[in-house]
Structure formats: structure tokens, C-alpha cells
Structure 1
Amino acid sequence: MSVSDLIPYHYVTTDINHWYVVIKQGRVEKAKEMKQQVEKEFDMMEKNEKVAVYLQLLKLRHEIMLSYLEPDSVKNIDGVYSDLKKTRESMAPESLTNTIEFYYHFFTGMYHFRTRDLVIALTYYREAEKYLDLLDDNANTDKAEFYFKVSEVYYYMKETHFSMNYAQRAYSIFKEQKDAQGHLTYGKEMVQCQFVIFGNWLDKMCYDDALKTAKKALNDALKIGEQHLIGSAHFNVGLCYNNLEELDNAEKHFQIVYEIHRDRKHIYESKAIFNLAYVKAKKNDLKAALELYQEGQKVAARHNNQEVTEKLKLVKGLYLSFDLQTLREVFKFFKDKNLYGDMEEYAVAVADFLTNKEDRHDAVDFYQMAIEARKQIQRGKHLNEKM
């Protein structure tokens, strides 16, 4: 191919930008189509180092999208990340633009968040934030997506005020985005922000605000009509009812969630089955809880979801076989993964269960675990670890 036959790199960059928009919108089939088109164009493009790394960045972001929306199609996300990291490390410092550095740290944070390596994810997000105000003026939706992703990490770390603040900032930006007819263009993202805000209300034990936010998000999700979003909305309503100890209502919503994700074989199927098994066990429906536990182990293994695999042991160790050693293994996992929010919540639940069984000696151990988790959250030491 002669030089004159090569495609100018700015044409390919335009298509890469369009591909990114489709990825952010979660349009899986269109994103796959755009990926093939861009890769074909790149092979016929004039050489440009910045476009090459931009393409690798979008390949990673594409795989991250698929890991949530179509997990069974993800084959080599670790290899994609490894290739990107090597490319960036080989680039001359002057080639590392603010945009490349922002996307690299942002997407790497997302890559680690998906495996719940929260400290590493947050460390990369903090690096990305340094470049946020250096982006182009038309990067508002990038900023909104970034704020939302940071709010998710802080939510899982139970840093409630930080999480709420970032989620509300993201929601405000998404709310301003409208098409020529005045219709919202980021309605799905607004619902996802409401999910995080709901979770923080729940952590603050403001149950009226939590339930109100969860039901509004469910209504908005139903209007959008996307099954994944509807399933997540039902899940949050179920969580709220579970915390209110309205177990029948909680079971009803978790059952809907399980059916939605089971039919789609989505990664959240494992998360749904754990919560349904947990509620069934709390209601003393142990036969159903056992069946869900057994099925949940298979589902979690299929999705390579270690977090749910460990959480299912709570159902087994607390209700099905009463095995304190199994329970302690779960809490070791929580501690190793810095999942102090889960550690605190479930340690209190186990301690209360043991207290009701008049096993006060072991109950004290789990109350102490809850106290340790709360101290770690308040001190924020887990946020200061290095990559």
C-alpha cells in the first residue's frame, strides 16, 4: 500500500470517538460493529503513536463494558490491559498527552474496580483526577462518568459523604445533557447515579430517603425499558426492604432480579442469587436456601465471582451447617480485599445471630470484627495504600 493510499489518522480518530460514545451508552452490538470498523481502518492508517495508544485505551474500555453487559463474551481482558500498559510505558514522555494520561488512569481504575480491588482502583482514579480540569471544554460527559465511577468506589468503601458528593455532581451534569428535541440523552446514567445515592442513604440508615430514591429509580428504569437497569432497580428496592426487615417484600424484589439476570446469564445473576438465598435463610426457608446456595456456587464459579463465592459461605456457615470456621474465612476475605463495609454489616448480623443463640463468647469476636471494620473506615487508612 502506497503512502497516498493510507487513511489520514484524523479520520480514524473521529470514528474512535464515535466508538467511545457507543461504549458509554452500553450499546453492545453497535460497539462491536464500531470496533471492527476502527480496527480495519487502523490497519490502513498512516502511522501515529497517539492514535495507536488511543485505540488500545478504547479496546480496554470496550472489554470493561462487555464484562458487565455481556460477560461470557470477554476472553482476554487481562491481555488487553497488559498490552496497553506496555505501550504506554514505551512511549516518550512528550507523547503522553493530558487526554491519554486521563483515560489511561481512569480506565485502569475501572479495570481494577471490576475485581473489587478498591484501593488500587481509587489510587488510579486519584491520578486521573489530576488531569480532569486539563481536558477540553466539551468533555463534560467524561467528567460526569468519572465522578460516577469515583462515587462507586467510595460507596463500596463506605465513605458515604465522598460517594454522595461525587454521585450528585455526576447526576447534575448528566441532567443537563439533552438532544435537539429537549429529551434527556443520559437517562440511564442518571438512574445509575440514583442507585449510588440510594446506597449511601441506606448506609446512613435513612431508610425513608433510601426507599424513596430506590422507587424513583425503579420508575425511571421502567420508562427506559432496559432489563439490566430494571433488574438493578428492583435489587435496590429489595435491599431497602431487607434492611427494614420486611423480608416478604425483599424476597419479592430479589426474585424478580434473579429471574431477569438468570434469563440473560448476566454477571449480576450471582449477586442476585446470594441475596435471595440470604433472605430465604433469614425467613427459615432452609430447603429453598440450600437449593439457591448450591446453584449460587455454580453461578459464581461460572462468572468467576470470588466475592459472591465467599458471601455464599455466610448462608452456609450461619444457617445451613453452622460452621464458625467457615464464617471466619469469609471475614478474612473481606479484610484482605479491604471490603470493610461488608465486613462491618455481616459481622453485626452474625454477632446478633450468635447472641440470640446465647453463644455470647463467639458473638463478642464478631462484634469486635465489626468495630475493627468501622475503625478502618473512619481512619481511612485503606485509602492511603500505594499501587
Structure 2
Amino acid sequence: MSVMPEVVSNTLNELHLAIKKCDVESAKKLFEKSKYLLNDMEENDKIIIYFQLLSSRYKMMLYKTRGESLPKGDWKITEDSLDDDTNSLIDYYFYLFETEYLAYLNNYETAIETMKVAEKKLEMVHSDIETAEFYVRAASLYMSIHQSIASLSYINEAINVYKKQEDYKLSLARSYTIKAMNYTHLKRYDDAEEFFLKSIKIAKELNDVYYEAMQCHNISLMYSNRGYHEDCINALQRAIRCREWRDSVYYINSLYMIVKERFIQGNHNGALYYLRKAERVLNALPNPTYEAKINIVRSIFCDEIKESLDKCRENIRYLEKSGDLDGVFDLSLLIKGQYEKKENFKEALEFANLAISTKEKMMMLRGV
């Protein structure tokens, strides 16, 4: 006997709610239940499109909240899948989720364009939680390209919604983290620390050791920017003590940060110890972006200027090509600083100019 589309639709709505709450365990069960019901469902294109959208969103949630791999190209729906018969809510979800995926690909200009389409369709959504979800995605996108004023405007609206919702504490924690990262970019470090600590406090209250580890990693970025290198390393070591964090795709991020911070401190033996760990992780789980970043850091601290310059240019070009503007900006400043210390002023100027042009490029991104 076939399953009625209404039954599947109700299960998908439950799945969507679990995703919005970042309730990973419930979402996993409902995702499997949805797949099972779809096998016996009467034909219904709209339900299938809804499932495919939620399937992609579900995988993005696991990537962002549990560090599970999200291969590029693993996105179910394209704009061609939508037609005149697709209802406006499904249409809205497509553009909302597509925005997040494009940002994941570092395709920021198209992501902003897509986000603006979603924002126009937001008037069809009559839910504070749905609206807050949009605010979070918009804020995260603008944060990624250092457009902090725009990002803060959106994330403050999301926080106002989530603070009134007992079931959305993890969403509130995520919002605090976005706010903290914006304050870090603005060099308002005391404010940034306050909101990172609020996010960590919520993770502890929820007994979510993985999310707590993630926030320890995130706060380390603020300490690094502030020049508090030992505090940065302490936060990173708290993160990597979590087994779930070490099993995630984000583990290499923390190892890279420790390598960089140890080199900056002048602790080359400590840096090389974690560098070997990072190389083992990259051998098991290749990550070209972090391989490029580690190559740059190792080269500026270990190689002679000519060899270092060639490697830095090569790897920075890779980061530029892959769209990692934030990485290009941060590492250009690091290269500049190290070259200045060695009195390689001409080479330092090259990367100072690159940092400036990259910052300008981020600030000019507005969507087509």
C-alpha cells in the first residue's frame, strides 16, 4: 500500500524543524524515516523537491554543527528544478539554502545575489523563526567577507528572536559566535570575547562537547588576531582534546592554527611537532586549502627568502583562485610581517599591497 504524500510532507516538516533547532539526533532519525517513506509514496514532484532541498540542508547542518564532510558538488537541487507550479515557500527555501551553499564554495558575489532573491521572497514567510534563519545566513555571509556592519545588523535581529525561544539555544549560540567574529574583524576584542564566552556557556549548558570544542577553536581566532598567542594555543588545545572534534573535518583547522602560533612564538620544535600531525591528517583527508596555508606558514618561518617567496606566491595564488579571500588577507599580513622582521622590505610591500587589495575586494562585493 502506497504512502500518502501528506504523511511524507508532515515527516519532512518535522525534519525541517529539527534542522532549524540543530537537533542532530532527531534530524538523523527523521531523515532516515523520510527516505523510507519516500520509497512507498505516491508520485508527487513537489514533495520530492522538498525532500531534496532538506537533504542538502541536512548535510550542511551536519557539516556546520558536527564537522561531517560535505563534498563540493553534493547539492541536490538546481534552479532548473523549480517551475511555475512550485509553491512560493519551496521557491524561498531553494534560494535560502543555495545562498548558504554558494558561500561554502566561496562564491560570494553570486551568494549575495541569491540571498537578495531570497530576501524578496521572505514576505511569504510568516514565522519569526524562519525569518531569524534568514538573518543568520545573511549575517554569516557578510561576516565571511568582513562586511561587519551589514552582518551585525542582521545578526542582532536574529538574536532578538532566538533569545525568546527556549528550544533554539544552539541557534542563539551560533548567532553569538557570528557577532563575536564581526567584533573580531572590527578589533573590538573585549566585545568579541564576551560573545564567544556566551556561546561556550550555552554549549556547556547543553552538554554539547563538540560544539563547545568548536567555540574554543573560534575564540582562538580572536586571541590570535589580538596577539594573545598563548591564550590562542590554550583554547586550541581545549578544542583538540575533544575526540569528536578530532574526528571532524575541522581538526586540520586547529592544527594549522597551532602550527602558526607556535612559529610566531619562536617555538619551532612545538610548531614542527604539530606540523607532522597536520601532515598525517592531510594524508588521510586531503584538504588543498589548508595544505596551501600550512605550506605558506612553514615556508616563511623555515625557508630562505627566494624559496619562501616562490612558495608564498604559488600558494597565495591558489587561495585567490579558490575564493578564500579571508585566508589571502590574513596570510598576506602574516607574510608581510615576517618579511619586514627579516628586512625584506620590497617583498613585504608586495604582500602588504595584496592585503589591501583583497580587503577592498571583500568590501566591494555587493552581488550582481
Give the match for residue 149 of structure 2. Answer: 161
| Residue 253 (structure 1) aligned to one of 218, 235, 254 | 235
The reply to whether residue 120 of structure 1 matches residue 110 of structure 2 is yes
Moved more, 154-163 or 252-261: 252-261
Alpha-carbon deviation of 1:291?
2.7
May I ask how many residue pairs the two structures share in their alignment?
Answer: 365
Give the match for residue 181 of structure 1. Answer: none
Question: Do the aligned residues in 1 keep the contact of 2:15 with 2:27 (CA within 8 Å)?
Answer: yes
Alpha-carbon deviation of 1:11?
2.0
The reply to whether residue 16 of structure 1 matches residue 39 of structure 2 is no
Alpha-carbon deviation of 1:71?
5.2
Give distance in 2, aligned partners of 1:122 and 1:261: 36
The reply to whether residue 287 of structure 1 matches residue 287 of structure 2 is no
Question: Do the aligned residues in 2 keep the contact of 1:157 with 1:340 (CA within 8 Å)?
Answer: yes
Aligned ranges 1:60-209 → 2 under 5 Å: 60-69=56-65, 78-79=73-74, 81-82=75-76, 84-85=77-78, 89-90=80-81, 92-93=83-84, 95-135=85-125, 137=126, 139-177=127-165, 184-209=166-191
What letter corresponds to residue 91 of structure 2 in structure 1?
Answer: E
Alpha-carbon deviation of 1:344?
2.6
* Identical residues among aligned pairs (%): 19
The reply to whether residue 30 of structure 1 matches residue 63 of structure 2 is no
- How large is the RMSD of aligned CA atoms in angstroms? 2.3
Give the match for residue 340 of structure 2. Answer: 355
Larger relative contact order (CA 8 Å, sep ≥ 6): 2
Question: Do the aligned residues in 1 keep the contact of 2:67 with 2:245 (CA within 8 Å)?
Answer: no
Q: 1:265 to 1:195 in 2, by over 3 A?
A: same
Unaligned runs of 5+ residues in structure 1 are 178-183
Aligned ranges 1:46-57 → 2 under 5 Å: 46-57=42-53
CA offsets 1:32-59 (integer angstroms, 9 cap, x no match):
3212222222233333221121111111
Q: 1:92 to 1:68 in 2, by over 3 A?
A: closer
Give distance in 2, aligned partners of 1:263 and 1:235: 10
CA offsets 1:131-153 (integer angstroms, 9 cap, x no match):
11112x2x322221221122111
Question: Do the aligned residues in 2 keep the contact of 1:155 with 1:199 (CA within 8 Å)?
Answer: yes
Give the match for residue 358 of structure 2. Answer: 373
Give distance in 2, aligned partners of 1:106 and 1:188: 20
Give distance in 2, aligned partners of 1:55 and 1:120: 24
Q: 1:261 to 1:243 in 2, by over 3 A?
A: farther
Question: Do the aligned residues in 1 keep the contact of 2:143 with 2:151 (CA within 8 Å)?
Answer: yes
Give distance in 2, aligned partners of 1:302 and 1:114: 22
What letter corresponds to residue 37 of structure 1 in structure 2?
Answer: K
Question: Do the aligned residues in 2 keep the contact of 1:151 with 1:164 (CA within 8 Å)?
Answer: yes
Give distance in 2, aligned partners of 1:91 and 1:148: 24
Give distance in 1, aligned partners of 2:80 and 2:224: 47
Alpha-carbon deviation of 1:255?
1.1
The reply to whether residue 384 of structure 1 matches residue 339 of structure 2 is no
Give the match for residue 315 of structure 2. Answer: 330
TM-score of the aligned structures, taking structure 1 as reference length: 0.86
Question: Do the aligned residues in 1 keep the contact of 2:259 with 2:271 (CA within 8 Å)?
Answer: yes
What letter corresponds to residue 159 of structure 1 in structure 2?
Answer: Q
Alpha-carbon deviation of 1:69?
4.5
Question: Do the aligned residues in 2 keep the contact of 1:261 with 1:268 (CA within 8 Å)?
Answer: no
What letter corresponds to residue 109 of structure 2 in structure 1?
Answer: V
Question: Do the aligned residues in 2 keep the contact of 1:297 with 1:312 (CA within 8 Å)?
Answer: no
Question: Do the aligned residues in 2 keep the contact of 1:247 with 1:283 (CA within 8 Å)?
Answer: yes
Moved more, 32-41 or 363-372: 32-41
TM-score of the aligned structures, taking structure 2 as reference length: 0.90
